[in-house]
Amino acid sequence: MAADAASSSKPPLAMPLRLSLSLMMFLQFAIWGSWFVVFFPYLRNLNFTGEQAGALIGNMALGAIFSTIFAGYIADRLLSSERLMAICHLLGAGLLYAVAQLQNPGEYWTLFAVTLVYALVYNPTLVLANSITFEHVPDGQRDFPGVRVLGTVGWIAAGFAIDAFFAGNGKSAAASNGPLLMAAGLSALLGVYSLFLPHTPPKGAAGGVPFVKALGLFKDFSFAVFFIVSLVITVVLAFYYTVTSDFLASQCGVKDIGRTMSIGQVCETVFLPLLPLFLVRMGMKWVLAMGMLCWGLRYLCFAYAGPEGGAFALAIVGIALHGLCFDFFFAAGFIHCDNKAPKDIRASAQALFSFLTYGVGMWLGSLICGMMVDRYTDPVTKAVDWRNFWIVPAAGVLACLVVFVLFFRDRPSDAPPEA
């Protein structure tokens, strides 16, 4: 096919560079995976309310709202991306250690401030890791998935590690601040390692603010639809990251939360290297639509999940669908941004996508999720009505899918050639 020929005309990704970028991705997501999936039940175990825990989780997204704008500007104009990565992760190591020490609900506002500052320094590194990778690989659509999949492996490894080191005696890893301390150590390691990443100097020319220029991408109607749907669908994505660990423990009787949730990342590692093939065969529109559909199906599975038999199988299927959800929407979305944006604002285009998804969408979703947990919690038994809880995000995802299919169109230059 023509698309395959175009990819094969570019040189292969050199193995030393592949290893360097892959290790960066591994550590990048091992940090996040070490603490984030157990943070909500960890806070609840410390007697923080659902609304407080949701707000603290939401700080991760709130930080993305502000910091990714400036990170994109700095990377496009002022400072090399690898040095900015190093600064952010070294600061992040100290902040994660501080979070691990704040365990009293009476220190809520102090914890709120520290988690917000951490979010301000971690979120830019998600953008920077992508922009460094796209800058140095010969073919972004062909090579990015193979590098990014090591991030998923890092998340899986972190899930197994927190269960191995911090779970036991009938308790889950959420009962310990150990995952936060492990994340702090990994952050320090990546901060030092970032200094040895391929040099990625600023590319933007003088004049104009890159993030403002990236907003000009909204002039493309289909790109605007993509961004708006991404924002809305990420609101309901936040439900998965915020409460799935709590749901699995209370509704399905799962003790090894990290290992169980890593099933989704295992599926992600299977499908992410195949993403270029799906993009060629199906096109960007239907790859993104498939990712949305899987999101809706996952939440429906959770709505009818339980502790045994077929109900427990539904919980596992819902977790496994995370691989398709992430690969076919977020990974493909980052590729879509890189394909569309002019070279001098690519870091800012990635920042804009992260701003709307990891930022505004996840922040709103975390807040709404925390309030919904309180709403669907019986005041006497403290049990959560998980069935009605999960029906809400399922309906939201399927509504986004309908809007996307109706209004998103591939421009001729973006559509893959026919076989």
Task: Note the pLDDT tens digit of each residue in 368-384.
Answer: 888 898 889 888 888 88
The rounded distance, in Å, linking the Cα atoms of 137 and 145 is 11
The answer on pLDDT for 399 being more than 80 is yes
Phi, psi of 381 (to 5 degrees): -85, -15
Asked if the model's pLDDT at residue 57 lies above 70, the reply is: yes
Condensed to tens digits (0 to 9), the pLDDT of residues 289-342 reads 998 899 899 999 999 999 888 999 999 999 999 888 878 887 788 777 777 666
Q: Which residues contact 153 (CB under 8 A, 6 or more apart)?
A: 26, 265, 269
Band (353; pLDDT cuts 50, 70, 90): confident
Q: What is the rounded distance in angstroms from the CA atom of residue 252 to the CA atom of residue 197?
A: 42
66 or 157: which leads in pLDDT: 157
- What's the pLDDT score for residue 109? 95
Chain mean pLDDT for the chain = 83
- Residue 365 has φ and ψ, to the nearest 5°, of -60, -40
Q: Would you list the DSSP string of 378-403?
A: -TTT--B-HHHHHHHHHHHHHHHHHH
Residue 104 makes CB contacts below 8 A (sequence gap 6+) with 46
For 14-39, write each residue's pLDDT tens digit.
Answer: 899 999 999 999 999 999 989 987 88
Q: 342 is written with which tokens? A: 């002019």
138: CB partners within 8 A, 6+ apart: 10, 11, 12, 13
pLDDT at res. 196: 93
Q: Packing angle between helix 15-45 and helix 81-101, nearest 10 degrees?
A: 20
Q: How far apart are CA 322 and CA 305, in angstroms?
A: 16
CA distance 343 to 20: 23
Please give the helix or strand (H or E) that residue 322 lies within, else none: helix 322-325
Q: Look at 196 and 63; give whichever has higher pLDDT.
A: 196
Sign of the CA dihedral 5, 10, 16, 22? negative
Give residue 134's pLDDT band: very low, low, confident or very high (50, 70, 90): confident
- Residue 309 near residue 362 (C-beta atoms within 8 A): no
Nearest residue to 72 (alpha-carbon basis) of 132, 147, 146 = 132
Residues 6+ apart with CB under 8 A from 15: none
What value does the mean pLDDT take over residues 195-208? Answer: 72
Structural element, H or E, at residue 237: helix 221-251
Identify any residues that bridge with 171 across adjacent strands, giving them in sequence order.
Answer: 168
> Rounded to two decimals, what is the model's pTM?
0.69
In the prediction, which pLDDT does 206 show?
Answer: 43
Helix (H, G, I), strand (E, B), or coil: what is residue 281? helix
Q: What is the mean pLDDT of residues 362-372?
A: 84
Is residue 5 scored above 50 in pLDDT? no
Tokens for 61, please give them: 């997204």
Residue 209 pLDDT more than 60? no
Which domains are delineated in the chain?
Answer: 16-201+214-407 (1.20.1250.20)
CA distance 164 to 182: 12
By the 8 A CB rule, do 266 and 160 touch? Answer: no
Q: CB of 329 within 8 A of CB of 232?
A: no
Flag whether pLDDT at 386 surpasses 90.
yes
| Predicted confidence (pLDDT) at residue 105 exceeds the cutoff of 80 | yes
Which pLDDT score, from 0 to 100, does residue 137 have? 85
Per-residue confidence (pLDDT) for residue 1, from 0 to 100: 44
Distance CA 338, CA 364 (A): 26
What is the rounded CA–CA span in Å between residue 48 and residue 198? Answer: 43
Q: How long is the chain?
A: 419
Mean pLDDT of 154-177: 81
220: left (phi over 0), alpha (psi -120 to 50) or beta: beta
> What pLDDT sits at residue 390?
94
Q: Which residue has the higher pLDDT, 349 or 379?
A: 379
pLDDT at 3: 45
In tens, the pLDDT along 70-94 reads 666 666 667 788 898 999 999 999 9
Q: Which residue has the higher pLDDT, 64 or 12?
A: 12
Residue 268: alpha-carbon gap to chain centroid? 12
pLDDT at site 268 = 80
What span, in angstroms and rounded, lies between the C-alpha atoms of 192 and 195?
A: 6
